Amino acid sequence: MGNYLDEAFDLLRIELENPTAENELFVRYGTAARTLDTFREEKGLNRPPLAWDDLTMCVSLIRQIRNVFAHNTIEPKWDIKERYRMVYEFDDISISLMDKHGHDFQFDHVDGPETLFALRAALETRIRDTSHLHST
C-alpha cells in the first residue's frame, strides 16, 4: 500500500490518541479521507457499477466522506447526491446517510472517527480479494 496512505492514517491515529482541538481532528480526518479516496482512484475504482454490492458500498461511502471535506475542512458539510442517500451496510459497518445532506458533519454520523480505519481495511481487503481478476 502507498506510503502516503500510511502517513495520513498515522497522523489521524496520533490525533485520536492525543487530541489537540476539534479543528485539528477535522483536518487530519479530512486528509485521511481524501487520501483514501485517492488510493481508491489509483486502484481503478472510479465509478460505482449499477449493482450495490459490498465493494460498491465501501467505495461509495469513502467517496461521500471525502466529499464532506472537499471544500471546507474546518467546517465540513454533507453534500450528497440523491442517488447516494442510503444506508451503507457491509462487514460490521452500518451507516445511514439518508438524512445527512446539507447538515454539518459530525463524527457520530459515521459511528466515530475510527470508522475510517475500518473503511480502509475493508477497501484493502476487497482490492486484495479481486486483484487476481485484473492480472494478466
pTM for the full predicted model: 0.86
Write out pLDDT tens, residues 29-59.
Answer: 999 999 999 998 888 887 666 678 888 899 9
pLDDT at 47: 65
- Strands (E) in the chain, as ranges, are 87-90, 93-96
Task: Find all residues with CB under 8 Å of 49, minimum gap 6, and list them.
Answer: 56
- The pLDDT assigned to 31 comes to 93
Domain map of the chain by residue range? 3-130
The grid cell for 131 is 486483484
Res. 109: pLDDT tops 60: yes
